[in-house]
Structures are given as structure tokens and as C-alpha cells.
Structure 1
Amino acid sequence: MRWNGDSVARVWRREEGSVSLYLIVSTAAMLLLTSLLIDFARIAAFERQTELAAQSGIRSALSAYDDGLYERYALFGTGGSDRGELFEHAAQHNWTGETAGSFRLLNMKTEASHVDSYEVLGSHEVFKRQVLEEMKYKAPIDFTLEIASKFVPIAEAMKEASNSVDLLGQVQQLYEEREKKLDEVLALQKQAAAAASERLPALLSSTGPSIINGYGNYVRWKSEDASLEDGEEPAHQAQIAAYVSRAASGAASIAASGSQALNLHQEYEQQAQAALLEAKQYNASIQVFADSLSASQAGGGYDRISQKEIAGSEPASMTPAKLNELQQSGGAIAALVLESDWFEIYAEELQKQTAAIQRVSNQSAQFKASVSSALSRQGSSSSMSLALQDLKSSYNEYEMLYGVTGSIIQSRDAERTKRQASDKERKANEAAASSKLSEVKQLVEQLKAAPDQEENRKAFQQVEQRKEANLKFNQAVQHEVSSSEPLGEDSGETVQQSMSEVGSIYSGMADLLDDVRDPLYINEYVAHRFKAFDPKQFILSNGQQGTFSQELALENQEVEYILYGFHEPAANVAAAYGELFALRLALRTMEGFIECRALGHPLLVFSAAVLYGIEKAIADMAVLSEKGSIPLSKYAPAELSYLDYLRLFLVLHGVNEARIARMIAVIEQNTGTDLSKVSTGLTGELTASVNLWFLPGLMRSFTAGGILSGKVKGNRYETTRTIGWFYG
């Protein structure tokens, strides 16, 4: 059959079969859309499964942690099985649940996987984060109930004692300088009087009367020689010449002695007035301190602690009367102040002494003039006698007032003795306190010089290297300068340093309780997870070392090493001993102010309180070595252990990069693990693929256009998932 154009046109214009063609076209479009949607749904499901597989894999990889680190230090770090294998194994098992031969909606498979570290435990930031996570529930309760609450009852008393020590310590220096200057003034007065009495008394008692007594013979000799006839030789020429010479030189000596005494008095008065002015200035400074007591005394950390309501704190056994006595110890400073007009009166007294010797000097010159007049026959014996009598009277008056037994000098001596009545006893207390303090210092030096430390020293050298390596790893610089000398040069300086240390402890506790969280948690972690020295190893008598040297191994003093950072085996324990003694000294000195209040003189009370504090502190250290704990105070009987005191010192010294590095170094030393290589965070990368059922070419165009994030290889769709996870 032949087909022409008309025949074809007629076929297309026929209505039979039109529905079938429509159905074929529409069905094909629906199948294409359905295929596309099915593969899209499968890809979405695959993407979700891949993400879940990656999450499961990274959790599985992190499950392999270091048991030793966790059990001993509650730190999480990777360890044990290979983390890459764990990640891959967990990921694969996340999507192979179908049984063999069963229909698999998603035919997935792992193309590649690997695990990387992105955080390590040796990083200070990471290390502190894990410590804070571990301690955030436990530390506040421990510190508040065990330590801070015990210090609340004596906060007010310690504030008053600290103020008293600070004021009296400074006032004592001013008082001693003032008294030194006043002693200098009195000594100059006595030197001036001694200068006057060096020659004048002898001249007035012998030379002056001798001149007057010889004057009658002189007149007679002159008369006899004058009545001689012409040509007769004078019979008394030699005697006359001798008398004139003796009288003139004697009168000149008396006048010169008076003038010299005046010159020395003027010089001594100038020095005495200058010293008196300095004493007045020191007195004014004492007055300033006395006046400052009337102003409100800021208590710093003391007030912040005493005003807090801390669970577990007990009321103080100190009565208001006792606290008032403590407050009066500082208030008695006013009794040391000399009235301002006292110095004015003394200055006038010095002027009067010079004026008195001025009269003596004038009278001595007048006597010389009367002798000269008498020798020239213009005077008389009576005029010389009258001048000598006036001179003696002036000098005797001067001696009665300013001589060694003079009333004014005796009065000044008596006044000084009364004013300085307690100084001898005070200085005896200071000497005794310094002697006992020297014993403590000697003991600290004995601790440092413990023998047979070579083996222990090796461990400290190793941990030092680990600490330096960790600081370098963290690019941190050690700014800390530790001090092993909490004891001052003398007892007064030592107790001032001790009170300052207690004030810092109170301020530190107040800061921690005011939500300074991180240092508190880190300090408590040190106290809970590291070993402290056994205080029973402190040897307090006869210099016996016993097993002390053996106990100085690093493993027996980890807390002390972390706290102070010395790399000599005995140095950290010695530093702890010194600080502990200083703290006990401050607490006991507070008690000493109350016990010694009856002594009256504020500086005597101060010296006695310091001596009391040193003696009691030494006894406390002995009790601590026997029992391992001691009551905080007579007025706060709560027991504090040696470790409790170390916790206070951790607060006192604060947290810095060097301390964190030492903590890490000790952990590394004990576990043999380099924390800079222990991962605490992992990133896992999983590459997987799924087969495509329809139209892979179309899917490839979708990935190229960015509609799908993966890529198409052959008839499989491939994607990569990266996920990170870390321990708390």
C-alpha cells in the first residue's frame, strides 16, 4: 500500500488511539518525576544516615579514654584503642543492619574515613575547663563549710589586731626616733653644763680669791716703793711684777672660761633646738596616727567575710568586752603623744640655760675689768670682791639649775625615766621575741638543708623540665616569683608581715565567695587530687632529722610543690612551714593583745603581744606535728588541718600560668603521659556513597548546579561529613 501526504494527514486527524498517545506521554513524565523524587528521597535519607554514622563514630572514638588519667585525676583524654578504627567500625555498623539477600533501600558503603585531634589536655585552657567541670559542684561546698566558715567568728578581732599591729608598728618607730632626739637634747644640755664646770669652779674657788687676797700686799708694795728716797732701789719690784702678771692672767683665764662656756652653750643650744624640732615632728606624726583611730577603719576582706551569712559558721567565743580591750590596744596610742606646748617650754628652757651662762660670762668679763682697774689704782679690793661675789652667785645659780645635780636637769632626767619607764621591759620582750624567732628561722634552714636528697632532686629536675616544656607549649611566661622567706628581719617586722598575710587571706576568701569561681575550683582540685606533706614529719626539737629526708620525695609533697614551685626537695616544705608559722603568729598575736592589755603602755603591750604570739605559735607547730591539726584560735576553737592551711595559702598566692604548668607537670611525672599529646577533642571525617536507581546523569547536573552537596561517580552518589566532639 502506498502512502501519500493526504493519507498521512488523514491518519493524524483520526480520533482513534489519541487517548493512548496521551497516556504514554503523561505516564513517561510521571515516571521521570517519580524516579527523580525517589532518588532525592534516598539521597536525603542517605545524608541523614551518614551524619548519624559520623556522630556514632566520633562518640565511639571518644569512648577510648585513658583510664589512669580519669581514675586518678578525673581528667578525660583519649587512649587505648585506635581511634580511627573505632570511628570507621562504628560508622559502618550504623547502616549494615539488613540481612544478607534482603532488599536494601540504601546500598551504602564507606569510601574513606579518618580522625584528627583538635584539642589536647596539655593546653591550659582545656585543662582548666576539665578541672572546672569536675569541681563545679563539690568545691564551693567544701571551701565554704570547711574553711571560710571557721574564720568568720574572729574576723572582727583579726581586723582590730591587724590595725593595731600596723599602727603600733609604725608608731613604735616614730616613738623611738622621738625619744632618741629628746635624749640627744638632754645630753647636749649636760654637755653644755659640763663645759661650764670644766674650769670655772676651780678658777672661782682658787684663782679669784688669790687675786683679791694678794691685792693688799700689792698695794703695800707699791706704797713702800713709792716712798723711797732718790737713788734707793725699789725693794718690791719683783713681787709687784709677779702679782700683776698673776692677777692679770688669772682674771683673763676666768673671763676666757666664761666666754668659752658661752660659745659652747650657744653651739650646743643650736644643736639641741634642731634635735628638739625633729622630736616635735616625730611627735606630730604620732599624733596623726592617734587621730586616725577616730576615723572609720576600713576592714577590707575582714568586713566582707564577717558580714556574710556562711553556712556552718559558729558564733565567736570572744565577748564584746574582750573585743573592746582589743580595740583599746590601738587607741592607747594617744597616751604616747606629748602636748605641743611641752616642746615650747623645753625650747624656752634651752634658751634660759644659754641666758644663764651668758650672765656668768658677763660677770667673768666684769671681774676681769675690776682686776684691771684695781691694778691701775683706779679700783679697789672691794670692787674686785663684789665682782667675784656676783660671778660666783651667777655660776652657783646656773649650777643649781643646770649642773649635774641641778633641779632642771634632774627634773628632765626624772621625766625621761618616767616616760621611758616601760622601754627596758619592752626591749627585753623584743630581744626575747627576736631570739625565739631566730630559733624558728634556724629550724627552717635545717629543713632546707636536709641531707641525702640526690635521688629526690632528680625527680624535681624532671618535673621542672616538664613544667618548662608545658609553659613553652602554651607559649606562657612564668611571671611568678615565689618567696620562701615569710619571716622578717625582726619580730616587729615579722608580725606585720603575718598580719598582712592574714588580711590577704581574708580578702582572697571574700573574693572567692563573691563568685570568683575559677581560682576556687582550681585550688580545691589541687587539694583533692594531689598529695600533701605529712605534718607529723616536721621535726621540732633537738635537730633530729629522722625519716624526714625520706619523706621529701616529690610524691609526698605535690601540693607544696604546686603551691611554691621550688625545685629543691626541702624548699617547698620549708616555705609551707614558714608561712604556717607566720599565720599562727598573726592569730596568736591577736590573742596576745587581749592577754597583755593590763600592761598599760601601748608599746609594751605590743611587744608582749608579739612575744606571746611567737611562743604560742611555736607551741602550735609542735601540736600540729603530733596531731596533724590545731584549733584556729582560743576564740574560734574549730580545728584546721595542715591541708586546710595549704588551701588558705593557695588562696593567698592566687592562680597563674606557672601553677597550672606545675599541676600538669606533676600529672605527667606520675602517669608518664605527655598531656600535650593527649587529645580531648576529635574531628571525624566520613566519606560514604549510595547507589542511584534512576537517572545518574540528571543527578550529576544537580550536583554541578549546587542543588546537591555531594558528587556523582558512575551510578553512585558520594558525600562527606565532618563532625567534631570533645570531652566536657
Structure 2
Amino acid sequence: MKRAYNGSNRGLRRRKGGWFFRIDGSVSIFLIMVLAFVFLFNAVLIDYARIAAATTQGERLARAGIRSVLSAYDVELREKYGLFASGGTDGNMLLSSVLNDNLHESGRSDAFNLIQMGVESSTVAWSRPLGEYDIFRRQIIEEMKYKAPIDFALELGGKFKPLSGAMAEASQVTKVLRALQPLYDEREEALDLMMERRKQAAESGRAMLQLIMNPPGDSLQQSTLGEVSTAADIAAQYDDFVYKYTWDMNRDSREPARYTYPLSRYSQESAQVIQRIPQVMNAFREQHNVFIDQAQSALLRARELNDEMKVVLEQSRSNGSGKRDRARDWDIPGSSSDEIDSDPLDKLREQEDSLILDQADFTGIEEHLAAQKRGFESLEPLTAALPGVLAEFSGLYSNGSRMIEAVLAAAGSVGDYLGSYGASGSLIEAELAALEEHRSSDKQRKQWEKEAKVKLGDAMKIIDKIRELSDRAGEAMQRYETLQKYYEEILSLNKGLDEAGKEGQTSSDPYTAGSSAMTNMDGVYDVMTNALTGTRDRLFQTEYTALYFPHFDVSALSSMASGMGGSDVDRLAAQMDPHAQELEYILYGFHNPAGNIAAAYGEIFAMRLAIRTMEGFVKKAGIGNPLAVLAAALLYGIEQAVQDMLRLCKDGSIPLSEFIPAQLTYRDYLRLFLMMHGSGESQLSRMLAVIRLNTGINPAERNTYASANIRFGLRLWFLPGMVRLLNYSGVLAGDVEGKVYYRKIQADSAY
């Protein structure tokens, strides 16, 4: 039976199974669902956009805040030393103030703030104190990277460039002649010893000659019986001996013997003389052989030294070949292109070969020595035969003339040998004269060496007097002790090693002092070349030190340099304070008032000695003998360097050279020495110690790097749960707590 239906069936659809449902409003429901999804998406997107904008704004605020914190640097450090470090103001307070000022809402009631941010917390962490070497060095580079190269090139490099070629040649000449000089002197001493031993070998036969005939002569006259002390007496008295012996033998038996005593005396003394001849000859032979062996050893040593001189000369030329002028690559606008004429130095180097003895010279000496040995061998047979001939004196029928001839022959051979090779011997003196030909300037050279040593000693006495000024330091020593304490604290902070100052001791030997001065001058040109063509860190530190730290008033030493004594004692005492010699202290590092001044004075003197010695080579090259030229150049250099130091103390500056009138001040010399010795960590420690002494600011407590950690909060408008889900997925980097999104931002900055 069908169920009756009275109404309309529009809008209804029949389902299987007999049920019906309505389809009215399905579009509306669909649109509502779509709009709900769009709303959800837009809500999340709006909060995400607000979060992104807040993050960007927070990062900008953090950077602005940390820059504001760093703006509170220490003004005293900046004005006095060009350094930036925290000024002691509370960084947390500064950061909080900057953030609050930037996030503060305006007073308008109709204002709408899309990004309502708040600061949950903010902190500042300081690090990298100025007392650390890397930090301090970086700030020096930033301060000097534009000024240092220009100042150094124009003020120093341009002045030294024209001097480079001549100084390089002078350095080479000084070093090779310095190496040759002791070898030359030792070789000549060996040759002198050889000649002396040859003379002694010949003179060892003087006793033999006196035993044969004294005084020697070319003839021998008959004489009556008397004292018999030589072989000549035996031969000369023999005929009288025979006569008197015959007379006594043939006398009347009733008469007493008249000549018994003279005859007995003649026989006894003649026997003694004959017995002594072999003994004296053996002693002569032994001494002669010893002296000749020593002469040969001395000659061998002279040859070895001569070979060493050849090696030194060859090595110096091979090492010097191919070297170019170090200053040629210095590109300095406006620098002089005129160079000192080094032709005299080139010619001097060509004359170095004259110091070497040729092989022919030694061959000639060996031949002379062999001739002397042959001369000795020729006299031995005559002296050896003499006792046998003289032994016939006891007979009545011996040949007296034969005795005389044997005596004259033996005496003549020994006398000729002594006349040739003994003291003032003709042949030995001729050989000495030949040796003296290549020593023509040695006597004058020795005199110049002696004068140079005296004048150098006088200069060293001035340095010793400067060192003694420490005894008058008084209160300055207390400040040096404080300075040393600060220095050690900086070393401890950086875990560095104490590099104690080492004062260069100028040798009292002119050759050593000159060679050392030339080596130091080579070092000056090397570091200048590196600074002007390559590495600049050393240059930056050098120029920074010279710019910001005062140096000693060298005019206070004028009376001492002139030898007038201590007329400026009070002025010198004031200059002993570390504040008056900061640059010298940083350079040398002596924690006593006078040590740094003495070191600077000595090093300037050494540089002046090198430059003036170069001038001496140019002026004295005409002397000829290279070693004599070296001695004359050193004497000239020492004399002029002493005068230069006096002018420097009086005027504050001196010309670089007689050939280059460019002026160099006391400060300029210290800048050069800083280039040679500076850029080390010990110099950085001393600079920081001086800064602390002058300002009372401990660089270890003043930082240069700040890190801000800020936690911002942003209230979410829609669906914090969805934002939390996004945060879990890693899309966002913050945290959601309740309806607030929090984000941590870090900003770092440094001076």
C-alpha cells in the first residue's frame, strides 16, 4: 500500500531504500567551507608576515643597538693613540635604552601599529680586549694603512734611494777586506817567522865559526905559543910549537927545559879545541835542522793562508755577481735619480787581487830555502874534516900550511853561510826586500789602524757615560718598575715570551765595528725594500710607534757628546723619565733610564760610521793598497761619525751624506731602527704598557668586540596553535608561548 503524500516533492530526492533528503543550501555550505579555509590561510599568512617583519625589524634594531653601544668608546684612547675600545659605560643600559626608544609607541590614539613588538630581555657580552696582540695590531693597521706608506716613502725612502748603489758596493768591499785582513796579516807573520827561523838557523853556526876562527879572516899569520881557543890558534902556533919542542929536545942535558909549560899548555888546549869541534858541529846541525823545519812549516802555513784568501775573494765575487741595486724598484714620486759615483769602489775591488801572492812567489821562496839548505850541506864536509887535519899538531913533521888551509877553508865556508843567511846576511836581506815590495803601505796602515782604534775608543767612552746616567735617575726608576709590571701583565695575558732588550755592543776593533755597521746598513735597505715593495705590517707598526710616542730630546746630550762633561745634569735627569723616552723604550725595551738612550746613540753612531766609511772609500781609493784604503776609510768614517753625533745633538738633524745633503732627524733614525727591530710582540707589549702608564687605562680590561643577545616578543592575532605547528616544522626559528611569539636575535660588531 502506497503512502499518501500531500505536499510538493520539489527539492527532495529519493534515495535507495526509500529515504529522501534535501539539497537546498549546499552551495552556501560549500562557500562557507571555502571561506573558512581561506580565512584560516590568511590568518596564518598575516601572522607569518608580521613575524617576518618583526624579525627583520628586530635584527635592524639589534644592529643599531650594538652600534650605539660601541659608540661609547674611550675618548682619551682615540684622541691620544687613535685606538677604539669600550669606554667603561654600562653596555646593557645603553642597549636597553636604544631598544626602548625605538620601540616606544607614539602618543596618538588613532595610531595603528601592525607590529607590536616588545623586548623581553637584552644583554651585551664583551670580548677581545685591546691588550691582545691580534686586536691591537689590527687597529694599528687600520689607523696607518693610508698614512704610513706615503710618509715613509717620501720622508725616508726617497732620501736613501740615491745612496743605495754606493752603500752596497762599500758593504761588499768592507766585508771582503775585513775577511782578508786577518788572513793577510797572519800570512805576513808566517812569512816573517819563516825568514826569522832561517836567520836563526844560520846564526846557530856562529859558535862554530868562533870556535874555528875568531875573528874570522881571509888569511892566518904565524904566531908564538899562547892561549889556544880556536882551531886557527892551533894552526897559527904550530910552527912555533915545533921550534920550541925541538929546542927543548936538543938542549944541553945540563940545562933545564925552557918551554915545558907553553908546550904542555898548547898540547892540552889544542886537544880540547879539537874535541869540541865535533860537539859544536853536532849542536849546529841539530839547531839548524830544527829552525829550517820550523821555517818550512811557516812557509806551508803562509801558502795555506794565501789559498784561504783566494777562496774568500772568489766567494765574495760569486756571491756578489748578479746582485742588483736594492732601491732600483722603489717607485717613489719626486725622489732624486742622481746616484753617487761608485767607480772608485769598483776599481778598488779590482785591486784586491794584489793582496794574493802568486804561485811563482812561493816557488821562489822555496828555491831560496832549498839553496840555504844546500849551503849548509856544503860546509859540513869542511868542518867535519877539520879535526882530523888539526890532530896532526902533536907530531913534529906535520904540514902547518895544510892546517892553515883547512882552517881557512872551514872558516870561510861557515862565514860565507852566515854572511848570506845570518843576521844582516846579503841573500836573506835581499829576500826580505822582495817581500817588502808588496808591503809598501803596511806601516802606514798600521798607524791608521792604531789611530782609528783610539778614536773609536773615545766614542765608546761617551756611550759608557750615557749608561752611567741611570745612577741619577731617582724617581724615574719607580716609574720604570711600574712600566715593567704592566709589560709583564700584557705578556701574561697573551701567554707571550719576554724578549729582553739586547743592546748592540760596538766593538773596539775598527775592522769589526766597520763590518758590523755595514751589515746593519744592509739590513736597513732590506727592510725598506720589503716595506716599499711588499710586506707592510712592519711598516704600519713602525710608523704608528713613531707617530704617537715621543722620543728623547737628543740635544740634552750635546755637552756630553762634545766632551764637556755633565754641564746639563739637571736637564738629563729630567729626560730619564719614561715619559721623555717612550719611543726608545718601545724600540729597545730596557727597564732602566739610560739603557735605551745608550742603545739608540750607539746604533746611530754605527749607521753614521757605515755611511762615512763609504765616503772614505771614495775619497781614499787612490792610496792603492786595498787594505790601506780600508784602514784609511775606517779612520775617516770614525772621525766623521763622531762629528756627526755632535752635530746631531746640537742641531737635531744632520745631512745623510756629504754627497747627499738631505737632512735626517734623530726621530728618522729611530724609525729606521724600528723597521729593523720592530713588529715583534715584545714591542706591542711595551706600547700597551706605555699606554696604560700614560692614561691609567688597562688595555686588558677594555674590549673591542660586543655581542648583543636580545629576546623580542610579538603578540599573535590569529591561531597561535597553527603558528606553533609551523614552528615545530622548522619553518620559524622562534618560540610560541601562549599567544606571544618570541625570537632571539644576536648582533655582533667590533671596532
Q: Please confirm whether the aligned pair reaches a TM-score higher than 0.5, indicating the same fold.
A: yes
Q: SS at 1:489's partner residue?
A: coil
Matches within 5 A, 1:162-561: 162-198=171-207, 200-201=209-210, 203-205=212-214, 207-220=230-243, 240-292=263-315, 295=318, 297-298=320-321, 303-316=325-338, 318-319=340-341, 323-376=342-395, 379-450=398-469, 451-478=471-498, 480-539=499-558, 540-541=561-562, 542-546=564-568, 547-561=571-585
- Using a 3 Å threshold, how does the CA distance of structure 1 residues 309 and 687 change in structure 2: closer, same or farther? closer
- Using a 3 Å threshold, how does the CA distance of structure 1 residues 95 and 247 change in structure 2: closer, same or farther? same
Provide the C-alpha distance between the structure 2 equivalents of 1:411 and 1:280, rounded to a whole number of angstroms.
20
- 8 Å Cα contact 1:686/1:721 also seen in 2: yes
Q: SS at 1:640's partner residue?
A: strand
Aligned twin of 2:52: 44
Give the drift of 1:290.
4.2
Give the drift of 1:483.
2.5
- Name whichever of 129-138 and 97-106 sits farther off: 97-106
What TM-score do the two structures reach when normalised by structure 2? 0.90
Provide the C-alpha distance between the structure 1 equivalents of 2:653 and 2:260, rounded to a whole number of angstroms.
103
- 8 Å Cα contact 1:262/1:358 also seen in 2: no
Q: Among 653, 659, 664, which residue is 2:677 paired with?
A: 653
Q: SS at 1:548's partner residue?
A: helix
Q: Among 575, 585, 588, which residue is 2:612 paired with?
A: 588
Provide the C-alpha distance between the structure 2 equivalents of 1:564 and 1:293, rounded to a whole number of angstroms.
33
Provide the C-alpha distance between the structure 2 equivalents of 1:483 and 1:591, rounded to a whole number of angstroms.
30
Q: Structure 1 residue 682 and structure 2 residue 706: aligned? A: yes
- Using a 3 Å threshold, how does the CA distance of structure 1 residues 476 and 227 change in structure 2: closer, same or farther? same
- Using a 3 Å threshold, how does the CA distance of structure 1 residues 651 and 627 change in structure 2: closer, same or farther? same
Give the drift of 1:311.
2.2
- Name whichever of 229-238 and 415-424 sits farther off: 229-238
- 8 Å Cα contact 2:576/2:594 also seen in 1: yes
Q: Among 648, 663, 671, which residue is 1:639 paired with?
A: 663
Give the drift of 1:30.
2.3
**Deviation digits for residues 239-289 of structure 1, max 9, x if unmatched?**
554333222222333443333222211111011111111112112222334
- 8 Å Cα contact 1:262/1:354 also seen in 2: no
Aligned twin of 1:669: 693
- 8 Å Cα contact 2:140/2:541 also seen in 1: yes
Paired residue type of 1:631: P
- Using a 3 Å threshold, how does the CA distance of structure 1 residues 38 and 562 change in structure 2: closer, same or farther? same
Aligned twin of 1:15: 23
**Deviation digits for residues 99-134 of structure 1, max 9, x if unmatched?**
343222222111110100132211111111111011
- 8 Å Cα contact 1:261/1:357 also seen in 2: no
Give the drift of 1:368.
0.9
Paired residue type of 2:481: Q
Give the drift of 1:526.
0.6
**Deviation digits for residues 182-238 of structure 1, max 9, x if unmatched?**
221222222233322245236413623321233224434665677799999988666
Aligned twin of 1:609: 633
- Using a 3 Å threshold, how does the CA distance of structure 1 residues 341 and 123 change in structure 2: closer, same or farther? same
Q: Among 157, 160, 165, which residue is 2:166 paired with?
A: 157
Aligned twin of 2:156: 147
Q: Structure 1 residue 54 and structure 2 residue 59: aligned? A: no
- Name whichever of 490-499 and 480-489 sits farther off: 480-489
- 8 Å Cα contact 1:259/1:361 also seen in 2: no
Aligned twin of 1:134: 143
Give the drift of 1:417.
4.5
- Name whichever of 578-587 and 615-624 sits farther off: 615-624
Give the drift of 1:37.
1.5
Aligned twin of 1:71: 79
Provide the C-alpha distance between the structure 1 equivalents of 2:299 and 2:34, rounded to a whole number of angstroms.
123
- Using a 3 Å threshold, how does the CA distance of structure 1 residues 19 and 256 change in structure 2: closer, same or farther? closer
- 8 Å Cα contact 1:486/1:494 also seen in 2: no
Give the drift of 1:594.
1.4
Q: Structure 1 residue 623 and structure 2 residue 643: aligned? A: no
- 8 Å Cα contact 2:117/2:714 also seen in 1: yes
Provide the C-alpha distance between the structure 2 equivalents of 1:213 and 1:74, rounded to a whole number of angstroms.
108
Provide the C-alpha distance between the structure 1 equivalents of 2:316 and 2:37, rounded to a whole number of angstroms.
100
Aligned twin of 1:124: 133
Q: SS at 1:633's partner residue?
A: coil
- Name whichever of 557-566 and 18-27 sits farther off: 18-27
Give the drift of 1:139.
0.8
- 8 Å Cα contact 2:605/2:642 also seen in 1: yes
- 8 Å Cα contact 1:486/1:497 also seen in 2: no
- Using a 3 Å threshold, how does the CA distance of structure 1 residues 307 and 515 change in structure 2: closer, same or farther? closer
Paired residue type of 1:348: E
- 8 Å Cα contact 2:208/2:281 also seen in 1: no
Give the drift of 1:545.
5.0
- 8 Å Cα contact 1:200/1:257 also seen in 2: no
- Name whichever of 362-371 and 270-279 sits farther off: 362-371
Provide the C-alpha distance between the structure 2 equivalents of 1:545 and 1:77, rounded to a whole number of angstroms.
45
- 8 Å Cα contact 1:53/1:92 also seen in 2: no
Q: SS at 2:330's partner residue?
A: coil
Give the drift of 1:411.
1.6
Q: SS at 1:330's partner residue?
A: helix
> Identity percentage over the alignment?
35
Paired residue type of 2:130: L
Aligned twin of 1:95: 103
